[in-house]
Amino acid sequence: MEQPLVRIANLSKSFGGVQALIEVGLDVAPGEVHALCGENGAGKSTLNKVLSGSVVPDSGSVTFAGKPLRTGSVAASEAAGIAILHQESAAFPHLNAEDNLFVGREPMRLGGLLLDRASMRRQTREQLDRLGETLNARKPLGELTFAQRQMVSLARALSRSCRLLIMDEPTASLSAREMAVLFDLIRQLRSDGVSILYVSHRLEEVFELADRVTVLRDGRKVETRPVSELDRGELVRLMVGRDVRQPGQTRATAPIRPPASPLLRVQNLTRHGAFHDISFSVHAGEIVGMAGLVGAGRSEVARALFGIDRPDGGGAELAGSPLPLGSPPEAIRRGLALVPEDRQHQGLALPMTIGENLSLAVLRSVTRRGFFSRKLEMVLAERLIGELSIHTPGPALPAESLSGGNQQKVLLGKWLAASPRVLILDEPTRGIDVGAKAEVHRLMRELAGKGVGILLISSELPEILSMSDRILVMREGALAGELNRGEATQERVLGLALPDAGPTAAVGDATSRPDDSEQRSRPRGRLLLRRLAQQREYGVLALLALTVAVVAAVNPAFLKLDNLRDMLVHVAPAAIVACGLTLVIVTREIDISVGSLMGLLAAVVGILTSPQRVGASVAVGVLVTLLAGTGVGFVTGLLVTLGRVPSIIVTLGMLTALRGVTEMTMRGEWITELPAGLRFWGIGTLGGVPVCLWVAAAVIALTSAITRVTPLGRRLYAVGSSPRSAFLAGLSERKLKLFAFTFTGLLTALATLVSAPQLSVIESGTGVGFELLVVTCVVVGGTSINGGKGTVFGSTLGVLLLGIVATVLIFLKLGEMSTYWERAIQGAFILVAVLADHLARRRSAVEVGA
Amino acid sequence: MNRRSRQRFAYWHEILLAGLLSCLLVWAWRTDPAFVSRDAQVELSTHVWELALLALPMTLIVITAGIDLSVGSAMALCAVTLGLTYEAGVPPLVGSLLALLVGTAAGALNGLFVAKVRVHPLIVTLATLAVYRGIAEGVSLGRPVSGFPDSFGFLGRGEVGGVPLPGLIFAVLAVAFSIVLAKTPFGRCLYALGHNETAARFSGIAVDRVKLWLYTLSGAMTGLAGVLLVARRNTAKADLGAGMELDVITAVVLGGTSIFGGRGNLVGTVLGVLLIHEAREFVSWHWQRDELNLVVIGALLILSVLVQRVLSSGRQEERH
């Protein structure tokens, strides 16, 4: 008997009192496809996460290739040869496929300095070809369809040579063709000796691919059997359990529904990418269960009804009158309430007290004459605490001090206080203990008895079966069927909920490819505008060309070489600092202290080199300035990364403090004489071109190179695109951000050296307003304040555009008025830019955020 | 997950601030007793009312995890409105109303961008900081307007029962804001928004409307502050209040309001304002170097948040 590749023994894990895994043991042989099956909540994901290193088990051990595996470390698991394809995407939406494949372990040349782009391109193409994917590897991932993103994630998992590949629901949104390719690949890997741990609800796939299958139920292993010994029915029975555990009594009498009109009637509700043509009703006193797999669209329907999301079609009626969709306050007013599935992020404000949470949805009712009445709130809280048996010393404690079960009760209580006529419960007993669960069920029955209509969304079959009068089953965004209490069994519900292998249904296609159909239906002109808006650089370039053309037409003197050169010299410092600021903003931070730093550094270099003062050599002056700038940038970065002080605060504080230091140093005096050596930096020429332009060009080229061809550059974008995925990929957010700030400090010093000599005087007001100008240029140039997106090229274009605008104001003979309006125009530019971003984003498929 | 089962005493921060303030005043008294005399304090207090007024709505905004960098510029715009209308012959009281309107509109524009266009308030108010200041400068061409009638100047310089009038106005508004924050449903919404905007939405709170109102309110206050400033200084200029936003934010953050939202109250803000005011005035008084103020304020801002972070290091900040 061969030694198993993976041996898991006695693995247990609980999350806050709920046992996710209970003494699970299983083996995976080398070169085996081992399927993992079980209902939602059976423990599959937890097991996968233990293997991949994201979760530390409470007890038990994992032996990999004969050696004990150090759990809780992603790096250790990867080093051992474990790769995982997560169910939820761990990708970077702003980066393209090549970058997504290699972030964190990029192939490099020149000893780690440069990216080996050729190798990346080649390997990416190889991996994608292997999967039969013809997608454009240069497009940002956010612009691809969900299926394509899955394939890229898969390619990433495969691109590492691994011995165990864990795949969690890999075929969720794939078409038949893609699935066939995937299966071939899996067979190929198996014959290469790679083991595959395959989690899927699609039992046909299990029978097609797997050698053995392990069934988990309620955190325990039920059995491991060779697939050849099973058939579908038996597998389902193993998953569901022959002796179905009854969590509570079934309803004693099936209440007779009078043929009254329904309390809630939903008609043809549709939301692109989520669900399609949903129609059902809920009567007073009825409990309607909504079953289906995760991702079937149930929560999305609930959210659309409650008004969190806006549907694209269809409508609903509550108690006979139309229910306006899209406004939660309106829904509450009409008597609809939603207990959301994510109690931590959507349900409760954990740091607030229990009492505060309980009254949050009904603030009006605890208000007397405009004033919030603590007494009424207390009365309400105590009543609910009693009714729901919430175990807590009192309502004044923070909600986060409660156990999961009690938190869920608070969440329920909050909505009970709203006296809804229809109550939608989304996974109300997820992650809570048996006792609390029973109480929630009792409560539901009480409410139904009082005439409330209840829609119960749950992934737990026994719960749905025991509680519901009717069961709706959703599958892949559509209603697959409806079962009455009498005819519903677990097998039947599962049978309706599980998708067949083969081409996904029509709604599946709608789910995966929304933008293609959108593109086809849009007229070409609007398409062009959209591209312009999305590819900001082109838009700015166009605007730039337009402005130049207009001004040149009005006043041809504008195009004179001298004038252009002067303009470029004037904007050179901004262009230099904009490079650094682009990097900072790309990582989701900001630096508004650059102007003050410039003022300070100007004072430093002035004092050091001017014969009026210290009179040191130019070399010394330059060196000290560069060091000082870099140092301040470094300190700023430290405060942001180690001190965890938000960058807006740090740089706001720096902005003032540095200005103060400058004024103290200058003591109100001016410096008017600067040595020739220093003046060369700004005004001197080299080959006919001013030195400052050479410096600016060099900086722009260098920074551009960093972003495009170094691993560092790619990682900066990765961190800004998705901090969470960056964390999962093992990137050091701290080091990257520290670099960005330090680099900006250095560039500010350089910009000072280049600009100071241009001024006839240096005084303490130098540099005021500079930061706003640079931020404007960067934002206008297409760098997104949300991070992950933006180019040095775009920022430079932004600088040119704003430089031209400033010159234009002069040329239009506004005289001194130009300086006054300059700031207003800069600010207006940002507003227009963000407005354009917003409009472009609404139609774009790019995901933003972690 | 953090389980804090014991009830926290909520006012450590305010006590700390009061302590710092006392130490400062004692030290000042030991060094230069004239500073703490009643006359001197009343005289010096005239410098602080605008800052104090603006700190009130800023506290509310920061509680919702937002920020408003445009308050100084909006104030200048309102001041310029008053100045120009007065020059055009409009009576200053009417001009003040117009200034209030302008401020309200400025705040509403911020609110629209934050709530409807859903842009981060940092960027919006960074932009409007420039736009409003620019408009003020452009429209007034940098010229100051003075010569307001004494009756109008009473608003800024007058006293009622020995208390400066702006101080009275501030006191009334501070109480009003406290009541709104602590005792109305609106105030509760603000805290909920700051703690968890998603949960607030799911709870049926009209998040967008709240934000719109909040920034509009801030704008209205800049109008009031602008009017009082002009009345006090008897001059309306476009460069008024430059850099004031920093002082306001520092006062609010120093006062214990968390920049991440969800926590804070006006008592802390008032103490923060006092602390900054006294520190600043004493530095000017004793060392006669205004520049040192800037360093002190900047350092105070960073330190106050740093300390907040260190003390609450048990809190989960980034969810991965």
Q: B184 contacts in A (CB within 8 Å)?
A: 367, 370-372
Round to whole Å and give the CA distance between A324 and A583.
45
* Whole-number pLDDT of residue A850: 29
Q: Is pLDDT of A845 > 60? A: no
Tell me phi and psi for residue A816, to 5 degrees: -75, -15
pLDDT digits (tens, 9 = 90+) for A762-772: 655 555 678 88
Q: Is pLDDT of A518 > 50? A: no
| CA dihedral over B140, B146, B149, B154, signed as positive or negative | positive
Highest mean pLDDT among A143-147, A150-154, B179-183: B179-183
Number of domains, chain B:
1
Segment 420-439 of chain A within 8 Å of chain B by CB: none
**CATH number of residue B162's parent domain:** 1.10.3470
* Whole-number pLDDT of residue A530: 55
Global pTM value: 0.80
Using alpha carbons, list the distances in angstroms from residue A251 to A649, A656, B184.
58, 69, 43
Whether residue B123 is contained in a domain is answered as: yes
Q: A359 contacts in B (CB within 8 Å)?
A: 188
Segment 591-620 of chain A within 8 Å of chain B by CB: 592
Whether residue B140 is contained in a domain is answered as: yes
Q: Is pLDDT of A258 > 60? A: no
Whether residue B217 is contained in a domain is answered as: yes
Name the residue among B130, B184, B305 with its Cβ closest to that of A827: B130
Does the beta-carbon distance from A728 to B138 stay under 8 Å?
no
What percent of chain A stands above pLDDT 90? 26
CB A597 within 8 A of CB A629: yes
Segment 786-815 of chain A within 8 Å of chain B by CB: 786
Whether residue B184 is contained in a domain is answered as: yes
Of the candidates A99, A186, A175, the one whose C-alpha atom is nearest the C-alpha of residue A722 is A99
Measured distance between the N- and C-terminal CA atoms of chain A, rounded to whole angstroms: 46
Name the residue among B196, B253, B320 with its Cβ closest to that of A349: B196
* Whole-number pLDDT of residue B224: 95
* B37-B40-B45-B46 Cα dihedral, nearest 10 degrees: 160
* Whole-number pLDDT of residue B10: 64
Q: Which residues pair with B163 in a beta bridge?
A: B160
Whether residue B39 is contained in a domain is answered as: yes
Say yes or no: A356 contacts chain B, CB-CB below 8 A.
Answer: yes
Q: Is pLDDT of A172 > 80? A: no
Average pLDDT over residues B142-162: 82
Whether residue B74 is contained in a domain is answered as: yes
The amino acid at A574: A
**What's the complex ipTM?**
0.84
Segment 172-201 of chain B within 8 Å of chain A by CB: 179, 183-185, 187-189, 191-192, 195-196, 198-201
Does the beta-carbon distance from A657 to B141 stay under 8 Å?
no
CB A117 within 8 A of CB A92: no
* Whole-number pLDDT of residue A513: 34
Mean pLDDT check: name the lowest of A403-407, A600-604, A611-615: A611-615
Residue B283: in which H helix or E strand, if any?
A: helix B266-287
| CA dihedral over A825, A826, A830, A831, signed as positive or negative | negative
Say yes or no: A452 contacts chain B, CB-CB below 8 A.
Answer: no
* Whole-number pLDDT of residue A628: 95
Mean pLDDT check: name the lowest of A142-151, B15-24, B58-67, B238-247: A142-151
Mean pLDDT check: name the lowest of A480-494, B25-39, B168-182: B25-39
* Whole-number pLDDT of residue B219: 96
Round to whole Å and give the CA distance between A645 and A640.
5
Does the beta-carbon distance from A834 to B113 stay under 8 Å?
yes
Chain B nearest-CA distance from A124, in A, is: 27
What percent of chain B stands above pLDDT 70? 94
Say yes or no: A655 contacts chain B, CB-CB below 8 A.
Answer: yes
* Whole-number pLDDT of residue A241: 67
Q: Is pLDDT of A576 > 80? A: yes
Q: Is pLDDT of B11 > 70? A: yes
Name the residue among A590, A652, A824 with its Cβ closest to that of B131: A824
Residue A431 pLDDT class (50, 70, 90 cuts): low
Whether residue B320 is contained in a domain is answered as: no
What range does the domain containing B268 cover? 3-315
Chain A nearest-CA distance from B93, in A, is: 28
pLDDT digits (tens, 9 = 90+) for A811-830: 665 555 666 677 787 788 87
Residue B83 pLDDT class (50, 70, 90 cuts): very high
Average pLDDT over residues A750-761: 77
Segment 368-427 of chain A within 8 Å of chain B by CB: 370-372, 396-398, 400-401, 414
* Whole-number pLDDT of residue B170: 94
* Whole-number pLDDT of residue A566: 83
Does the beta-carbon distance from A785 to B120 stay under 8 Å?
yes
Sequence-distant (6+) residues with CB within 8 A of B302 are A639, A645, A649, A650, A653, A654, A657
Q: Is pLDDT of A383 > 50? A: yes
Residue A534 pLDDT class (50, 70, 90 cuts): low
Does the beta-carbon distance from A648 to B122 stay under 8 Å?
yes
Does the beta-carbon distance from B137 to A823 stay under 8 Å?
yes
pLDDT digits (tens, 9 = 90+) for A61-100: 999 988 899 887 777 888 888 988 876 667 888 888 888 8
Does the beta-carbon distance from A346 to B133 stay under 8 Å?
no
Q: B293 contacts in A (CB within 8 Å)?
A: 660
* Whole-number pLDDT of residue A255: 53
Q: Is pLDDT of A522 > 50? A: no
Highest mean pLDDT among A27-31, A542-546, B3-7, B290-294: A27-31
* Whole-number pLDDT of residue A817: 60
Average pLDDT over residues A180-198: 88
Mean pLDDT check: name the lowest of A338-342, A352-356, A844-848: A844-848
Nearest CA in chain A to B293: A660
Q: Is pLDDT of A375 > 60? A: yes
* Whole-number pLDDT of residue A247: 44
* Whole-number pLDDT of residue B266: 93
Tell me phi and psi for residue A426, to 5 degrees: -105, 110
Highest mean pLDDT among A132-141, A467-476, A809-818: A467-476
Round to whole Å and give the CA distance between A36 and A495.
18
Residue A28: in which H helix or E strand, if any?
A: strand A18-28
Chain B nearest-CA distance from A351, in A, is: 7
Whether residue B261 is contained in a domain is answered as: yes
Q: Is pLDDT of B3 > 60? A: no
* Whole-number pLDDT of residue A606: 84
Average pLDDT over residues B135-164: 83
Name the residue among A657, A723, A835 with its Cβ closest to that of B294: A657
According to DSSP, residue A199 is labeled E
Average pLDDT across chain A, whole number: 82
